[in-house]
Amino acid sequence: MKTNLIIAVLFAMCVTSLFAQDAGEEGLEKTPYIYDKYNNTIGAEASMLTGYGIMYKRKITDGLHIKVAGVPYYNETEYNKDIFVTVGGQVQFDVVRYPYLRGYFLLGGAYHYDNTTYHYTDTTSSERYDKGFSSGLGFGAETRLYRQLCIHGELSVGYYNTNKNYDSYYYYSPTRTGFERTITFGVGIGIGFMF
């Protein structure tokens, strides 16, 4: 819990310093808002709330964005088979907008499935799978890094529910199951290209 609090304080300090821009002689109202030109963003992200993988964000209206992210993975060899899927989504409501920075409130969730099967011999194998979902809310900041390249960071609090199962197809090994339900803080980062 102490580590989560330290991460939250550091993130809040970074976001606060980003929002503390100098208006200069023109003032912020007269400076063009860079995000008005671009409706789409594609990139990659890693988030405890919405998963990780390839990300696509679409501007719906002025101040409202929808983002989806996910990745499928499949690998099979003679000894094991791995299947992994994560897909998540997010709705973002702009709270603060500056020329090269926007702060937003977010609502989001994700589903993940992870299945690994090991084949030891022709008659012995074991299977482990985790599946679950997350949902939560938080805030984030997105800024332009270079030209149309942008980065974002998010801090969220969410509900995480995971069903863990372990099956062993061997005479002496029992099947184990378990559920994990937690409410905890999460972080997310990403990079994207606006077009």
pLDDT greater than 60 at residue 170: no
| Domains of the chain in sequence order | 2-24+57-194 (2.40.160)
Question: What distance in Å separates the CA atoms of residue 127 and residue 29, rounded to the nearest whole number?
Answer: 59
The predicted model gives 145-161 an average pLDDT of: 91
- What pLDDT shows up at residue 166? 67
pLDDT band at 95 (very low <50, low <70, confident <90, very high): very high
Cβ distance 126 to 105 under 8 Å? no
Amino acid letter, 29: E
Reading the block at residue 100, the tokens are 């090269």
Measure the CA dihedral 50/33/37/92, to 10°.
20
Amino acid letter, 101: L
Report the range of poorest mean pLDDT among 51-65, 107-121, 143-157.
107-121
Q: Is 25 helix (H, G, I), strand (E, B) or coil?
A: coil
Question: What distance in Å separates the CA atoms of residue 193 and residue 40, rounded to the nearest whole number?
Answer: 8
pLDDT band at 137 (very low <50, low <70, confident <90, very high): very high
91 Rama sector, left if φ>0, alpha if ψ -120 to 50, beta otherwise: beta
The predicted-structure confidence for 24-66, as pLDDT tens digits, reads as follows 444 445 556 677 788 999 999 999 888 889 999 999 998 899 9
